[in-house]
């Protein structure tokens, strides 16, 4: 039996293989259930009792030796030098393609940079929110259409847990825990239950700003908006404010800028009006301040909010919103220069 084990060990020691399939064939030949090493175990029951210890140890050593030998053959193939001998290793390597930042990130950072020069700091909050911070604290009536399932994604059909529909929820969270002066900008992703098309998506990005202090007036808001528009779209940009309605601001307004394609003369992009809407704004409703624990008789403030996709469209003329989330590298490569 010992001679048979020694002969099998010598045979295994001389094994060689040039392909992974050959290595697998050797493993099956020696270590499978019907392999040569396993067959020794069947013969082990015929070994006299006084020799079982010695021969059992020898069989175990042989099995370990065979396993190590076959593994070494496999590893040798995996680490073998596979470089083409005709390849000139002194040639310069091919340049790796350089990635770029996403256009929405580029524009978001530009917006943040503009407002930071006015003293605004960035505030962030959760995307999964509760009804109080998204709606109730912001003066939304109980029967407001925005609460309807048509517009809002509720979590597990729980009317109190939802994906935020605007980053105004960050403003209410900050006002709850911070006393004025408050000057924040809130960038983030928001969600609404809308059909996906070239002009709408079920998720998009917003940047909202909030300023609360003593004696804050609509004039402060207008001057902030004018500064932002000219920093973002050029020094010749004009703005106009149109009366509007938002539950959390009073008075409220929509802001238009002079079309940056035609210079306000009228074109197909601005539908011949010379103006393009970019954001909503207004003075913070006293009810919102009181709901968040701020004395509305002492403090006032303004808020504004814009869609990042909208601003990006105006700067780069991207006509299909779906392009922003499809990760088509051909589209993203167009913004390489803008990222630098």
pLDDT, tens digit only, all 340 positions of the chain = 677 778 888 888 888 888 888 888 888 888 887 788 777 777 767 777 777 788 778 778 878 888 888 888 888 877 765 666 777 878 888 777 777 888 899 999 999 999 999 999 999 999 999 999 999 999 888 887 777 766 888 888 888 899 999 999 999 999 999 999 999 999 999 999 888 877 778 889 999 999 999 999 999 999 999 999 999 999 989 999 999 999 999 999 999 999 877 777 777 777 888 898 999 999 999 999 999 999 999 999 999 999 999 898 888 888 788 888 888 888 888 877 665 5
Same structural domain for residues 140 and 174?
Answer: yes
- Cα(218)–Cα(117) distance, integer angstroms: 20
Same structural domain for residues 165 and 260?
Answer: yes
Exposure on the CB side of residue 77, measured as CA atoms within 13 A: 14
Locate 190 and state its tokens: 């928001």
- Cα(293)–Cα(114) distance, integer angstroms: 29
In a domain, 84, yes or no: no
- Write down the pLDDT at residue 235: 92
Same structural domain for residues 231 and 174?
Answer: yes
Same structural domain for residues 160 and 215?
Answer: yes
pLDDT (tens digit per residue) in 79-111: 765 666 777 878 888 777 777 888 899 999 999
Q: What is the dihedral of CA 123, 200, 160, 189, to 10 degrees?
A: -20
Backbone angles phi, psi at 160, to 5 degrees: -100, -5
Spatial CB neighbours of 3, under 8 Å, sequence gap ≥ 6: none
Same structural domain for residues 298 and 217?
Answer: yes
* Residues constituting the chain: 340
Model confidence, pTM? 0.68
In a domain, 83, yes or no: no
Same structural domain for residues 220 and 307?
Answer: yes
In a domain, 285, yes or no: yes
Spatial CB neighbours of 104, under 8 Å, sequence gap ≥ 6: 205, 308, 309, 312, 324
In a domain, 155, yes or no: yes
In a domain, 319, yes or no: yes
Same structural domain for residues 154 and 70?
Answer: no
Same structural domain for residues 165 and 313?
Answer: yes
Sign of the C-alpha dihedral computed for residues 19, 21, 24 and 30 taken in this order: negative
Same structural domain for residues 51 and 183?
Answer: no
Same structural domain for residues 41 and 111?
Answer: no
In a domain, 245, yes or no: yes
pLDDT (tens digit per residue) in 104-148: 999 999 999 999 999 999 999 999 999 999 999 998 888 877 777
3-state secondary structure of 127: coil
| Residues 292-306 as b or e (16 or more Cβ within 10 Å = b) | bebebeebbbbbbbb
Range of the domain at 290: 103-339
Count: domains in the chain: 2
Same structural domain for residues 238 and 127?
Answer: yes
CATH code, domain carrying 126:
3.30.930.10
In a domain, 89, yes or no: no
Same structural domain for residues 193 and 141?
Answer: yes
């Amino acid at each position: 039996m010992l001679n048979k084990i020694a002969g099998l060990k010598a045979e295994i020691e001389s094994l060689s293989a040039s392909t992974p399939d050959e290595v697998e064939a050797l493993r099956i030949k020696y270590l499978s259930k019907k392999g040569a090493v396993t067959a020794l175990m069947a013969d082990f029951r015929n070994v006299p009792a006084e020799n079982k210890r010695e021969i059992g140890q020898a069989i175990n050593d042989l099995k370990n030796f065979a396993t190590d030998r076959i593994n070494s053959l496999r590893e040798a193939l995996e680490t073998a030098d596979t470089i083409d001998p005709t390849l000139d290793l002194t040639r310069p390597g091919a340049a790796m393609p350089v990635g770029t930042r996403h256009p929405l990130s580029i524009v978001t950072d530009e917006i943040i940079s503009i407002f930071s020069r006015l003293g605004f700091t960035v505030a962030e909050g959760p995307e999964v929110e509760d009804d109080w911070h998204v709606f109730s604290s912001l003066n939304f009536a109980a029967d407001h259409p925005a609460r309807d399932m048509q517009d809002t994604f509720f979590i597990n059909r729980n009317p109190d847990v939802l994906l935020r529909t605007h980053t105004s929820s960050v403003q209410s969270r900050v006002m709850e825990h911070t006393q004025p002066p408050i000057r924040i900008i809130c960038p983030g992703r928001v969600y609404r239950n809308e059909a996906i098309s070239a002009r709408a998506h079920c998720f998009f990005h917003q940047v909202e700003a909030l300023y609360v202090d003593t004696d804050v007036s609509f004039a402060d808001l207008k001057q902030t908006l004018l500064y932002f528009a000219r920093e973002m779209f050029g020094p010749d940009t004009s703005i106009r404010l149109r009366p509007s309605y938002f539950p959390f601001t009073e008075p409220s307004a929509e802001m238009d800028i002079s079309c940056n394609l035609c210079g306000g003369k009228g074109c197909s992009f601005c539908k011949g009006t010379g103006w393009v809407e970019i954001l909503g704004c207004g003075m913070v409703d006293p009810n919102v301040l009181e709901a968040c624990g701020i004395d509305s008789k002492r403090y006032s403030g303004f808020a504004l909010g814009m869609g990042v996709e909208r601003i990006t469209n105006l700067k780069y003329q991207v006509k299909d919103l779906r392009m922003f989330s499809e990760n088509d590298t051909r589209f993203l490569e167009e913004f390489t220069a803008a990222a630098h």
